[in-house]
Amino acid sequence: MHTPINSREAFFLASVMAMAMASSAAVAREDTQSTPRQDTQSTQCRPAGPLVQISELPEASGIAVSRSVPGRLWAHNDSGQAQLFALDVHGKVTARVQVTGAKVEDWEAMAVGPCTGGSCLFIADIGDNSAKRQSVTVYRMAEPSENDAAVKGADAIEMKYPDGAHDAEALLVTPDGSILIVTKGETGPVNVYRAPADARPGATVTLERIGMSIQGKAAQEQRITDGAVSPDGQWIALRSRGSLVFYRTSDFLKGQWNEVRRVDLAALREPQGEGIALGSNNTVYLAGEGGGKGQPGTFARFTCELQS
């Protein structure tokens, strides 16, 4: 079940989310990092509903917008069964889908992107709190149809970093099918890595680092917990527990971390903000963990318009 947060908190959200915050968080930085440039562009953000609780997703980590079933979102927990949850746009669980043959070490993110069969789901088993994994896995599978109870034949693409293990929670898939991983900033600086275009199951591929560090080792509230690409491919958003930052995709893919706008998420009062998805009509979906001890996960929806 999903339960709305009380009206006082919803009002607080509405009043704060109506403005975008352009200030950058103070973080420790390395000499090799790239300094983000902030544009003066206007951004309007406003809530499209209250924060709701989802008991089925106490460890909600990844969220993505379906391209095959209108009005459907996909979400998952970061541990337990290899299982996807279908949500409606209000955060209600409408179905569960087993991912046959996949394993769960630390599922942290998901995305929907193009593949040979049309629309595919990409699930990122990339969490590594101790930065010790020799490789990480991205599962790729055809997006389930509306009535599927299970999906089979998920491709397991093994990847390794060129500079040692990293903890990461953000997966991006661009309109041309490029797979990007953004490191968290807890075990090292925040960096972006791209998989080779010919990445296939059956062999471990080496990721390529794009550009310089976005920032140094991040403060807890600014560690990157997920990212998303807008449906039109023009924008990339990275989120942390405390904020949401927009970049132009054209800059981002060149390693130019020009921060267009930063939105403060503190008013949401998420116990542990984790996932983000960008939908049509400038809609932003957020998912979060319940904060431990089996507490329900959270779901939020708002709009954030950026001028091209």
Give the distance, in angstroms, between the CA of residue 99 and the centroid of all CA atoms in the same chain.
Answer: 20
pLDDT one-digit tens code per residue, 69-86: 999 999 999 999 999 999
Query: Is residue 255 classed as helix, strand or coil in its secondary structure?
Result: coil
40 CB-near residues (< 8 Å, 6+ apart): none
Which pTM was predicted? 0.87
13 CB-near residues (< 8 Å, 6+ apart): 47, 50, 51, 267, 268, 269
Alpha-carbon distance values, 80 to 33, 60, 293 (Å): 36, 11, 15
The lowest-confidence range among 6-15, 159-168, 204-213 is: 6-15
With a cut of 60, say whether residue 27 has pLDDT above it.
no
Structure tokens given for 2:
């999903």
Domains of the chain: 2-306 (2.120.10)
What average pLDDT score do residues 109-113 get? Answer: 97
Calpha distance 100→77 (Å, rounded): 16
**pLDDT score of 308:** 61
- CA 289, 293, 296, 301: dihedral to nearest 10 degrees? -20
**Rounded percentage of the chain residues whose pLDDT exceeds 90:** 72
**pLDDT score of 148:** 93
**pLDDT score of 39:** 41
Structure tokens given for 95:
């179905």
Q: How confident is the model at residue 294 (pLDDT cuts 50, 70, 90)?
A: confident
Structure tokens given for 92:
């209600």
Burial call 222-237: b when 16+ CB within 10 Å, e when fewer: bbbbbbbbbbeeebbb
Structure tokens given for 8:
């006082």
With a cut of 50, say whether residue 33 has pLDDT above it.
no
Alpha-carbon distance values, 7 to 51, 232, 288 (Å): 10, 34, 20
pLDDT one-digit tens code per residue, 38-47: 443 445 688 8
